[in-house]
Amino acid sequence: MLTNKDLEFMQIALKEAKSAAKIGEIPVGAVIVKNNKIISKAFNKRETKKNALAHAEILAINKACKKLKSWRLLGCTIYITLEPCIMCAGAILNSKIERIIYGALSEKKSVFSSLKFLNKDLIPNNLEIIPNVYEKECKFLIQKFFKSLR
């Protein structure tokens, strides 16, 4: 179930995504929240960090584990402007994050859109997944970014 608070946090994820675009990175932002408090936020820095791991979600999970001093991010929600890739979806599963709220659908098939129905046993029952939140805004950011590159 989506709340007004969820929409607020998604707007913060959108701000993160805009920060990525400003430095020439594909605009994806992520925010991790526990008990209505922001634990971490990050934006995609793959080119800046020259690192295949530096997606917004991975950077946010890394900070969150450090902050909570645990590899288990129990009770946490992650807000992402774009549907996670396989790596990030796997990282979210590994970290035991309990809610995933995301904006635009990925053009590549992600674990959530493909595995969700193909391999139900990979997705825990208690994981809540809410797609398409601020979908248009998230998608517009990415389209604008790629248009500006041409």
Please list, in sequence order, all residues whose beta carbon lies within 8 angstroms of the beta carbon of residue 108, skipping any fewer than 6 positions away: 85
Answer for the pair 149, 120: CB distance below 8 angstroms, yes or no.
Answer: no
Closest to 140 measured CA to CA, from 103, 85, 101: 103
CB of 2 to a copy of itself, least distance (A): 25
In the set 114, 140, 143, 146, which binds a copy of itself (CB under 8 A)? 114
- Decide if 57 is catalytic: yes
Q: Is residue 65 involved in binding a copy of itself (CB under 8 A)?
A: yes
Answer for the pair 85, 114: CB distance below 8 angstroms, yes or no.
Answer: no
CB of 119 to a copy of itself, least distance (A): 5
| DSSP calls for 18-62 | HHHHHTTS---EEEEEETTEEEEEEE--HHHHT-TT--HHHHHHH
Q: Is residue 144 involved in binding a copy of itself (CB under 8 A)?
A: no
CB of 127 to a copy of itself, least distance (A): 13
**Per the residue annotation, which of 16, 25, 57, 83 is the catalytic one?**
57
Q: Is residue 70 involved in binding a copy of itself (CB under 8 A)?
A: yes
Please count the other Cβ atoms lying within 10 Å of the Cβ belonging to residue 131. Answer: 15
Between 14 and 59, whose beta carbon lies closer to a copy of itself?
59
Answer for the pair 132, 105: CB distance below 8 angstroms, yes or no.
Answer: yes
Which of the residues are catalytic?
57
Residues near a copy of itself (CB under 8 A): 46-47, 49-55, 58, 61-62, 65-66, 69-73, 85-91, 93-96, 108-109, 111, 114-115, 118-119, 121-122
